[in-house]
A and B are shown apart, each in its own frame.
Chain A
Amino acid sequence: MAQMNMIQALNSAMDVCMAKDPSVVLLGQDIGYFGGVFRVTDGLQRKYGEHRVLDTPISESGIVAAAIGMAVNGLKPVAEIQFADYIYPGYDQIVSELARLRYRSAGDFPAAVTIRTPCGGGIHGGQTHSQSPEALFAHVCGIKVVMPSNPYDAKGLLIAAIEAEDPVLFLEPKRLYNGPFDGDPGKPAVPWSSHEKGEVPEGHYTVPLGQASVVRSGAAVTIITYGTMVHVALAAARQLDLDAEIIDVRSMVPLDVELLVASVEKTGRCLVAHEATRFGGFGAELAATIQERCFWHLQAPIERVGGWDTPYPHAFEWEYFPGPQRLSAALTRLMEAA
């Protein structure tokens, strides 16, 4: 096992896939010679050549559309959108095309494109470098939506995504690139090297799409979350000394409903948390699913925590971010409910 941060783990995933399958190609802005603005594709153009790692013009719709065409012609494209906040020019190509090609062609023209993009806040990026748009894509039928919370899962999920036969939107919480982040910006950064999930096999392995993971077992309450918020939830549970079961969704589409249901049936209490705007967020789908499946087991109303229903502001980053305090307040309400 090697020690990797999330950037290295993602790089390793693409390296493994490219070595194994010559049809895997990468495309995106600044990803080739430069290795990407977050260095995720560093060294891959040198290793696999500029016909497999393509720098592209600044056109997200062009990148997605070209990836679709490549996939239809038998390649396995992995497109990088430099920030999730920049994905919208490609939205039509993703929603109207990529996600529906298999359906509208009755299976004749599927396009197994993987789109990687950094998401989330916590780096003083303001409203154009901080968004978590997963709900906008989870709502679209025909594209899988994934977000890892650690290097081990990042590599395994990305390999699974690249090898999948359906399109996958792969969201990378950039605040986690270099280390787990528990929601307290005042603390010194912690590297992945001191974390068990920073141990990553160098070779091929997959973390299957559609499987959630129990990050911490507990009996008192279930916290269902993903991405950066997994670590914030762990911190909140520690602070409250609460026997919380924390579930990392990992894959929003497809969703591992049975694992979530089993946990809530055991604990009887449920908090759903994400960094994205609360209103219409993916948490609403999670809460509705739990309500439908676990209503008679619930001892308290489901709590839902997210970013506020505003754009992500530059100056109020930590007032916006759903940190341990907001989670703790929700957990306290949950535990105090009759």
Chain B
Amino acid sequence: MTRPSRLHVPHAPARPGQPPDFSYVHLSPAGAVARPDIGAPASELGPLSLELIRVLDDQHAAVGPWNPNLAIDELQVGLRWMVLTRLYDERMFKTQRQGRISFYVKSTGEEAVSVAAGLALKPTDMLFPSYRQQGLQFVRGMSLVDLMCQLLSNTRDMCKGRQLPVLYHSKARHLFTISGNLGTQCPQAVGWAMASAIKGQDDLAATWIGEGSTAAADFHNALLFASVYHAPAILNVVNNQWAISTFQGFAAAEQRSFASRAPSYGIPGLRVDGNDYLAVYAATRWAAERARRGDGATLIELVTYRSSAHSSSDDPSRYRPKDEPEHWPLGDPIERLKQHLIALGAWSQTQHAALEAELNEQLSIAWKEAVGYGSLSDGPKLHSDLMFEDVFKDMPQNLIDQRAQLRLEQG
């Protein structure tokens, strides 16, 4: 005898044609969540994984115990990097649409996640990003031209033409090579942090993973190893609500928090307003100091929203309401920091427009230079001999032979 299926299937709160519904996002008022002592035992920190750490309130004031009390010039620097990230994304997405680059991934709406965290860490802390934290590249001082050359796979591409666009790296700036496979960087960051502990370094490792990718075993391996060895690491889960067409409830099993994965491993989990520059900064600082003291890893869930498509290959209007981005309850990270600075009397619409104009000009100049080094379709090309290098440190005979064969094919 059989009954009808009783399998539970999670449902997205809204699909195309339905009104957007973010009632599932649990919000705490700005300033309402306590800031525990940095050395507090993880067993006492459980509630932080369910509340939402916020600093900027609806009147654009910074309130509560998590206010990092940043100086005006620090806030302006953060705003500048976030605006640059957004303008860069818009410009590069357009070049993809014009066929100048093969692929692009925007981070629109998630700029605070990378910029605030990047600036809250030391320049020698090792970063293991996923493919949507371009803000980290900027705050670590990567030049626009270098980043654009990677997108173009041209003669100045740091990856020598081997990687998809946006999979940057920089050894000098402590930015690990970004993988096109999901979540793999997470336990690697923990391993880097374990080495830092073994070697007696002060540096920590920070990594970013999308909420969808927390389904992968690698995420759980990261938590496990971080927990066992008290690794000085920060595991950031960027909960931007959508993994292509799959809503966040699939990876969370419709629970209210990803941060709450951490306490069961004995690690603190902080659930943070990812569109609140000050909250992201403060939470990252808290976790970083804790790691440096020897108190181990922290998981930070950054509650944010992917305002744009997953990538240049994606069309979100097929799986979510068109007007959903406008209804996201945590607003826009750039607008919120901008309004905060205006409220402090330290910024104006005029200054903002001037900043955008200045950065757009920089982008134009950089793009002009970058395309001068070639692209997949025009201008100077990387030599195809490069394809055979770096498979091993020393090229084995089969690759030497194949390199010669390709040269013959090319005449």
Please report whether the interface of chain A is mostly helix, strand, loop or mixed according to DSSP. Answer: loop
Of the candidates A55, A56, A279, A313, the one whose C-beta lies within 8 Å of that of B398 is A279
Q: Is the CB of A309 within 8 A of B217?
A: no
What is the minimal beta-carbon distance from A222 to any residue of chain B, in angstroms? 22
A33 to B103 CA separation, bound complex (whole angstroms): 24
Residues of A within 8 A of B384 (CB): 316, 319
Q: How far is the CB of A20 from chain B (nearest CB, A)?
A: 19
B217→A59 contact, CB < 8 A: yes
Closest Cβ of chain B to A318, distance in Å, is 9
| B215–A127 CB distance below 8 A | no
B15 adjacent to chain A (CB < 8 Å):
yes
Partner of A33 from the list B15, B161, B213, B405 (CB cut-off 8 Å) is B15
CB distance from B148 to the nearest CB of A (A): 15
Query: Which single member of A29, A126, A326 contacts B162 (CB below 8 Å)?
Result: A126
**Interface membership of B245, Cβ < 8 A:** yes
- Bound Cα distance from A279 to B399, whole angstroms: 10
Residues of B within 8 A of A311 (CB): 162, 391
B71 interface residue (CB < 8 Å to A): no
**Distance in Å from the Cβ of A63 to the closest Cβ of chain B?**
10
Report if A319-B387 is in contact (Cβ < 8 Å); known contacts: A30-B246, A85-B181, A128-B180. Answer: yes
Q: Check if A315 is an interface residue, CB within 8 A of chain B.
A: yes
Select the stretch in B5-13, B25-33, B51-59 that faces chain A: B5-13
Q: Is the CB of A320 within 8 A of B387?
A: yes
Q: Are B409 and A329 in touch, CB under 8 angstroms?
A: yes
Q: Please, which residues of chain B bring their CB within 8 A of the CB of A88?
A: 181
Contact with A along B302-341 (1 / 0, CB 8 A): 0000000000010000110000000000000000000000
The answer to whether residues A58 and B318 also contact, given A308-B399, A319-B384 and a CB cut-off of 8 A, is no
Q: How far is the CA of A34 from the CA of B165 in the complex (A)?
A: 25
> How many chain-A residues does the 8 Å CB contact rule pick out?
41
Q: A126-B162, A314-B161, A329-B408 are in contact. Are A58 and B216 (CB under 8 A)?
A: yes
B-side interface mostly: loop
Chain B interface residue bracket vs A: 35 or more
Give, as a whole number of angstroms, the nearest-CB distance from B407 to chain A.
10
A315 in contact with B215 (CB, 8 Å): no
Question: B110 contacts the other chain (Cβ, under 8 Å)?
Answer: no
> In the complex, A54→B7 CA distance in Å?
10
**Chain A min CB distance to B248 (Å):** 10
- In the complex, are the beta carbons of A315 and B382 less than 8 A apart? yes
Interface residues of B in 162-213 (CB under 8 A from A): 162-165, 167, 179-183, 212-213
Indicate if the CB atoms of B9 and A50 lie closer than 8 Å: yes
Closest A residue to B183 using CB positions: A58
CB-CB under 8 A from A37, the residues of chain B are 244, 313
- The 4 lowest CB-CB distance pairs between A and B, nearest first, are A315-B161, A128-B180, A57-B215, A34-B245
B interface residues, Cβ below 8 angstroms from A: 5, 7, 9, 12, 15, 102-103, 153, 157, 159-165, 167, 179-183, 212-213, 215-218, 243-246, 250-251, 313, 318-319, 376, 381-382, 384, 386-388, 391, 398-399, 402, 405-406, 408-410
6 CB < 8 A contacts A-B: A30-B246, A58-B216, A61-B216, A315-B162, A316-B161, A320-B387
